[in-house]
Structure 1
């Protein structure tokens, strides 16, 4: 179970929604379901329009989550992630702060999503 707080200058105020941890729905689908104005063009990890910054709110170390190959490529091309961060995510289970909403699966931690 996780609370996801969306924040953006495009919104009048922050919105916190409940997301089922481990559900196979992406963060983008959670946003759409709750009418969050998160941009998305391709919805399959190729365009990068759903770029988000994720912060864990629990104060604990964030739980890692595998980056898809598409996500790695798009984030590196956009200059949001380095090869060292990819290596750290894969070997030490530490997620990078920048992700793609269409590829991110909500885990069991409360997060702040900035877009």
Structure 2
């Protein structure tokens, strides 16, 4: 987000406050298996964006829209749409 001068009311930049939550929409036709980090799991369960049962799964099918923390999300070499 900083790279593109997109300002958000983010406090920590460490995956603790949840202020940078965005929806990531992959622009591909088939879902990809992804892993969500520990900090993202805790924050999304706390915010009601991920169920307790989902948080215990090791991997997820990345079917849009999927909530991610912009400060923790690692962009791969595939086209995505970020929804604020």
- Give TM-score, length-normalised by structure 1: 0.62
| 5+ long unaligned stretches in structure 2 | none
- CA–CA separation in structure 1 for the residues paired with 2:51 and 2:71: 20
The count of residues paired between Structure 1 and Structure 2 equals 82
Q: 1:61 to 1:109 in 2, by over 3 A?
A: same
The ranges of structure 1 where at least 4 consecutive aligned residues each deviate by more than 6 angstroms after the TM superposition are none
- Which residue of 38, 53, 65 corresponds with 1:69? 38
Q: Which residue of 2 aligns with 1:101?
A: 70
Q: Which residue of 2 aligns with 1:57?
A: 27
Q: 1:84 to 1:49 in 2, by over 3 A?
A: same
Quick check: which has more Rg, 1 or 2? 1
> RMSD between aligned alpha carbons?
1.9
- Which residue of 15, 25, 38 corresponds with 1:45? 15
- Give TM-score, length-normalised by structure 2: 0.81
Q: CA deviation at 1:42?
A: 0.4
Q: 1:95 to 1:85 in 2, by over 3 A?
A: farther
Q: Which residue of 1 aligns with 2:4?
A: 34
| 5+ long unaligned stretches in structure 1 | 1-30
Q: CA deviation at 1:51?
A: 0.5
Q: CA deviation at 1:49?
A: 0.3
